[in-house]
Amino acid sequence: MDELIDSTEDYIEIRNKPGFIAYSKSETNLNKDNIIVKAIFDLGTKYKMEEIVSVLINAEQRTKWDNSVREYVMDKQYDNCLMLKRYEVIFPMPLMQNREFVEKQLAFNSKGKFYVYSSSVDNSLEPLKPTLTRATTFICGSRIVQDGDSIKITMISQMDMKLLFPTSLLSGRMADEMEQFKIKFLKQIDKIIN
């Protein structure tokens, strides 16, 4: 996963703001048809690693602070680090069904870094709710690392949202979503530590 996160080959910078940089590229070895977006959040020195990890992986709390998802649940947990995650992404467009994701998720520490990795399970393994459209996650991941005095999160996401227009038009929208995620995420951490 470090190789995919650290790669700069073929990425184009699409957003650069203080504490937030986003890149995209058109394909990966995992999937040739959908863009991948990478975002780097610089969280500075205000937070501790355990506070960040706690908010990032707590499924029970996610729907309370992230208004873009609904019914974010861990259906099954196999051990301390592997679980089945099911969530619904709210589509704010008329006449479009919300998107359902069912993913296997692995979360673990390695050499002072914390990783979260998700990808979709085969659709035949989990029934689809009839009011939703099943989207596919090829890879969704985060790496949290202490970088000097600050903590940095690098997130990557390559998904097929089952849209009716080319995914190449989505890079700016995905960067917007990741930037909004960072804002909501930090507000939740601030609530917990204050």
pLDDT of 166: 64
> Which residue segments constitute the domains of the chain, with CATH numbers given?
2-193 (3.30.530.20)
The 10s digit of each residue's pLDDT in 44-80 is: 999 999 889 888 888 777 878 888 887 777 777 777 6
Backbone angles phi, psi at 138, to 5 degrees: -80, -45
pLDDT of the residue at 88:
86
Asked whether 167 and 35 are in contact (CB, 8 A), the reply is: yes
**In this predicted structure, what is the pLDDT of residue 117?**
93
pLDDT tens for the chain, residues 1 to 194: 788 888 888 999 999 999 999 999 987 777 788 888 999 999 999 999 988 988 888 877 787 888 888 777 777 777 767 788 888 888 766 667 888 999 998 889 999 899 999 999 988 888 888 888 899 999 999 999 988 889 999 999 999 888 776 666 778 888 888 999 999 999 999 988 87
182: tokens are 């960072």
For residue 90, report the phi and psi dihedrals to the nearest 5 degrees.
-75, 125
Q: Which residues contact 125 (CB under 8 A, 6 or more apart)?
A: 102
Structure confidence at residue 147 (pLDDT) = 84
What pTM, to 2 d.p., does this model score?
Answer: 0.86
